[in-house]
Amino acid sequence: MEHLGSSSIVRGRGNNKRIWTYFEDEELIKALFEIALDPSWKSEGGFKNGYCQVLENVLAKKLPNSGLTAVPHIESRVRHFRTKFGAIEVMLTKSGFSWDDNRKMIQCEKQQYDDHCRKNNEAKGLYGVAFPHYDTLAAIYGKDIATGEGAEGFGEAVANMEKEIVRDIQDEEDEEDEERVSRETPRRSLHLGGASIQLLQALRSGRKTATN
């Protein structure tokens, strides 16, 4: 089974070329989650300027021989994950799409998926492909579209996310469309601590309320 969260050759232009391993992705997502809990780096509007440099410093300690830099490597990879997570969130607001929590992938009819991708280029590459970091990314970005008192409406938030995804895709220069996903990636998810679990539960509870 393929895994979208795994990295292989990305044929971007110039310095954007980088081969990411699953384990590098995993450390990146872990570090991103940790700084998402820090109000000095994450607010309701998203991450603050300079957060990629913080991620570079963390990864330099965790993966000292990786040579990963804030720009372009980390910035591009974070954008990739955010774009694909956002694409999944958009699909899940539409009839006929659901999430398989066991296999960590979108469930829908192939024709329906193809029709969706004709107008939503960012969703390409998600059919039949596991996205093992979905839960952690939901904890990181889900709060940005949370509902409740003082929060924007769920529909409005998703619409805003769609606009942001389009901007992200333009910035990426269609890197994801040229990505070859590795078939040899271990299938496992990140271990989340107590604070992470509570945050996920709160996000899921808010989502259910918004869709009822």
Q: What is the Cα–Cα distance from 123 to 117, expressed in whole angstroms?
A: 6
- The pTM for the full model equals 0.66
Cα–Cα distance list, 197 to 92, 159, 176 (Å): 21, 27, 30
Residue 122 forms part of a structural domain:
yes
For residue 80 the two structure tokens come to 């990739």
SS3 155: helix
Residue 3 forms part of a structural domain:
no
Q: What is the mean pLDDT of residues 139-150?
A: 58
SS3 86: helix
Q: What is the mean pLDDT of residues 138-155?
A: 55
β 105-107/98-100 pair status? antiparallel
The residues, ordered by sequence, that sit 6+ positions from 122 with a Cβ below 8 Å of its Cβ are 83, 84, 86, 87, 165, 166, 168, 169, 176
| Residue 22 belongs to domain spanning | 14-211
Query: What is the per-residue pLDDT for 88?
Result: 95
The predicted-structure confidence for 101-129, as pLDDT tens digits, reads as follows: 999 999 999 999 999 999 999 999 999 99
Q: Which pLDDT band holds residue 159 (cuts at 50, 70, 90)?
A: low
Q: Which of 2-11, 19-28, 40-49, 158-167 has the lowest mean pLDDT?
A: 2-11
The count of other CB atoms within 10 Å of the CB of residue 113 is 20
Sign, Cα dihedral of 138, 140, 141, 144: positive
Residue 6 forms part of a structural domain:
no
The predicted-structure confidence for 165-200, as pLDDT tens digits, reads as follows: 555 555 554 444 444 443 344 444 444 555 554 555
Residue 5 forms part of a structural domain:
no
Residue 201 forms part of a structural domain:
yes
Give φ, ψ of 11 to 5 degrees. Answer: -90, 60
Total number of domains constituting the chain: 1
Contact 178, 11 (CB under 8 A): yes
Instruction: Print burial letters for 126-148: b (CB count within 10 Å at least 16), e (below 16).
Output: bbebbbbbbbbbbbbbbbbbbbe
Residue 169 forms part of a structural domain:
yes
Residue 207 forms part of a structural domain:
yes
Residue 57 forms part of a structural domain:
yes
